[in-house]
Amino acid sequence: RVVVPFGKKKYVTGIVCSLAPVAPVDYEVKPIAIALDSKPIVRFPQIKFWEWIAEYYMCAIGDVYKAAVPAALKVESETYVEINPDIELADELMSLTEIEVMIMQLLQHEGSLPVADIEKKLQSHQLTRSISCMLESGHIIISEKLVERYRPERKSYVVPLFNSDNYRDAFESVKGARKQEQLLQALLSLSDIHRPGVATREVERDTLLKRADVAPAILSALVKKGLVAIHKKEVNRFKFDGEGSGDLPELSEVQQQALSELYAQFRDKSTVLLHGVTASGKTEIYSHLIEQQLNQGNQVLYLVPEIALTTQLTQRLQKIFGNRVVVYHSKFSDNERVDIWKKMLDESKPWVILGARSSLFLPFSRLGLVIVDEEHDASYKQTDPAPRYNARDAAIVLASMHGAKTLLGSATPAIDTYFKATSGKYGLVTLSRRFNNQPLPPIKIIDLTAARKKKEMTGPLTISTIQAVNQTLDNNKQAIFFRNRRGFAPIARCKQCAWIPKCHNCDVTLTYHQSSHKLVCHYCGATYPLPNLCPQCRQPSVEVIGYGTERVEEELLNLFPSRKIIRMDLDTTRNKGNYQSLIEQFSAGKADILIGTQMVTKGLDFKNVKTVTVVNADELITFPDFKSSERGFNMLEQVAGRAGRGDSDGASVLVQTYQPDHPIYPFVVNHDYKGFYDYEIQERQRFNYPPFTRIIYVYLKHRDRGALQTFSQAYAGHLRQLLGNRVQGPDEPKVSRIKSLYIQRIMIKIESTASMAKVRNLLHQTYSAMASDPTMRTSTIYYDVDP
Ligand code: ADP
Ligand code: ZN
Ligand code: ZN
């Protein structure tokens, strides 16, 4: 990394990608200000991988860099000023005003300071003018002091100042002071310093105090006596204890056969899909593949779609592989992430990196295998901000850059993936039975319209659902409720005049959160009070409608008053440790019911869960998008997969819906992935959707609705000239305004055989051509490739 001047006063960090033998002639080059590292912080092929993402997903490479590198490795520049070292201070002070003298004295004392700090210290806000004058007169100069944000962790170490020859003297000098003796004794046993021939060894302060079981004051006493010294040292936070058992789970016959097939397919395919029903033991098979890679000295990247999943998996994998398991995701502090990054740069050990999508960007050295678990999961796609990449697809590219293999695992493969696996592009291995031949749990579709008519509902649940759950709980088993809305109620409304509060910045209704007594916009985070009086009709008649996780929890507390309930959603898992503690509590049987958003549906392995309830399946299956059936089927099948994992006796899945006749339910009820795939692939072909075409959305955003409409019409028109009827729209997406910007979307559908490079070229061409339109300057335009 280097710091380079950018414009007049700014400094930015950059990464040197290549060296040119001669200086460019068409612009002036400035010298590099500082080289930050003594060795590179990225390694081959990382930059190549960033370039691929930037090109394929049509964004700036800087956006990829921002997503890839932990913030702490980037340098910030703040404007610092200091006294011009070339002036004679004593002479100059005479010619300055009172305030200028104060500034000079402050700088003389402090060296250099950011302008903001000078204002703070002198308690004045009008200093910019004085400072500019002083800059102009040459009394002070700008010193760009760079702040590196990475703070290494420092620890104190104790160094004995005696050796094997004179350690007895040391004991002599503390004679009678029992605690000090105790401390010296501990120091000897930890440092071995009393043994002849042992070089000076330091001991970590906290470890020493713990071993000696004495207070820090005792250590200070030894320092005063000149027996030991203390010094601070940087340590890497990245560390794990324990070796792991190395014991792999013994595979069942069916699993063993699947494993052999995987090895066989990997011989001539670089990507293989493992299609195994829920609880068939895919994780067990992965551990065998991991073991083989580690034995060969290779690294393995194990990707999961949700951070929540790393918790259980870390435990399962660490039991086997011990400290060779490394976890990495965005809930880690920035400093922790840098530590892992640096460790991976310094050492090329065989590790399993377990992480969410950002772990794709780590500096791998010997990548042998990438496992993409739950490969169908929509969370692998980053929607905002750029790079809008799909981590599964990028993983395949990353693996090929390393000459590594990719294993995609799922009970409900993405339509796109299954298409590739059945047409020979990927290998395919199938596991159609659960481990121990447990049957998949029966699924009941519960008609909410009918239940409502017959008045067989309490809050969001039907009587039959409540009965089934009661039975489960009476048998000392656990239940899960799935509701894909957080907060208390998704809508507030006036009973009198039907007024509905909406966000001022976005085109969305506000969700009422009871814990904070606020209406919250889930798109921009803005909060509003819930009005006592309707602002439209002035009546005290504003009510909240519908059920979010908070309200379902409240209903459950009323329905099952003696049971302990855990809620898991974005609001209860804001911190790194939250997931772990909630999942552990539920696993350990410290609660009877788990209610949550989609994070409770994916991949978690709870042995004691018998009943899983989907509170409202309608919004899972009716989403205005060509992938809505796929997502709905996957989610329902995954939810179902949480029931009866230990043993399936009495397990059931309850799906509450207002549309019991929806075409995907028969497939769900029969756990018929293949049937669903055949149905869905025909729909895709009929309507010319992926995998038969590729889709790129062009998003246009602007503050002014009218200007945006005219502009996006013109934009689509230009695209049509180049791409013909492959261009559709512009249209308004379902949420047509976010954070005060109106949104229009143009869809480009391209034959799967067409050259993407050519299409990208035409898109870039349109972008340049539209630059002359005055609206362009104030709009935001970006692409979403393979949405
Ligand atoms: P999947 O990842 O396919 O959903 P898991 O790997 O989580 O399935 O396995 C489901 C359950 O069955 C887990 O609790 C796991 O411990 C158990 N299991 C699977 N295979 C074996 C095996 N070979 N030996 C012992 N237990 C197994
Ligand atoms: Zn009203
Ligand atoms: Zn908003």
Digit-coded pLDDT (tens) for 712-727: 999 999 999 999 999 9
Q: Is the pLDDT reported for residue 701 higher than 80? A: yes
Q: Give 580 Cα–ligand 1 centroid separation in angstroms.
A: 20
Chain centre distance of CA 585: 23
Q: Looking up tokens 């994916």, which residue turns up?
A: 602
Q: Tokens representing 84?
A: 């011009």
Neighbours of ion ligand 2 (CB under 5 A): 494, 496-497, 499, 534, 536-537
- Pairwise CA distance, residues 371 & 354, whole Å: 9
- Pairwise CA distance, residues 302 & 379, whole Å: 15
CB–CB of 266/182 below 8 Å? Answer: no
Using pLDDT thresholds of 50, 70 and 90, give the confidence band for residue 145: low
- Residue 317: nearest ligand to its CA? 1
Residues 6+ apart with CB under 8 A from 739: 505, 506, 523, 524
Q: Is the pLDDT reported for residue 527 higher than 90? A: yes
Q: Quote the strand ranges of 240-279, DSSP E.
A: 271-276
Q: Give 492 Cα–ligand 2 centroid separation in angstroms.
A: 11
Q: Which residues pair with 652 in a beta bridge?
A: 611
- Residue 496: nearest ligand to its CA? 2
Q: Write down the pTM of the prediction.
A: 0.80
Closest CA to 55 of 387, 362, 395: 387
Pocket of ligand 1 (CB under 6 A): 249-252, 255, 276, 278-284, 435, 605, 645
CA dist 65 → 61, 62, 70, 395, 570 (Å): 6, 5, 9, 17, 27
Neighbours of 634 (CB within 10 A): 26
Q: Is the pLDDT reported for residue 239 higher than 60? A: no
- Residue 602: nearest ligand to its CA? 1
Q: Give 457 Cα–ligand 2 centroid separation in angstroms.
A: 28
- Residue 741: nearest ligand to its CA? 3
* Residue identifier of the C-alpha nearest atom 4 of ligand 1: 279
Closest CA to 383 of 595, 685, 625: 625
Q: What pLDDT is recorded for position 402?
A: 97
Q: Give 350 Cα–ligand 1 centroid separation in angstroms.
A: 25
- Pairwise CA distance, residues 308 & 221, whole Å: 48
21-35, 254-268, 291-305: segment of lowest average pLDDT? 21-35
Ligand 1 pocket test, pick from 315, 605, 639, 648 with the greatest ligand atom count within 8 Å of Cβ, gives 605
* Residue identifier of the C-alpha nearest atom 5 of ligand 1: 281
Q: What is the mean pLDDT of residues 582-597?
A: 93
Q: Is the pLDDT reported for residue 513 higher than 90? A: yes
| Interval 297-350: pLDDT, tens | 999 999 999 887 887 888 889 889 988 999 988 777 777 888 899 889 988 889
Which residue stretches of 347-462 are H helix?
Answer: 391-402, 415-422, 448-453
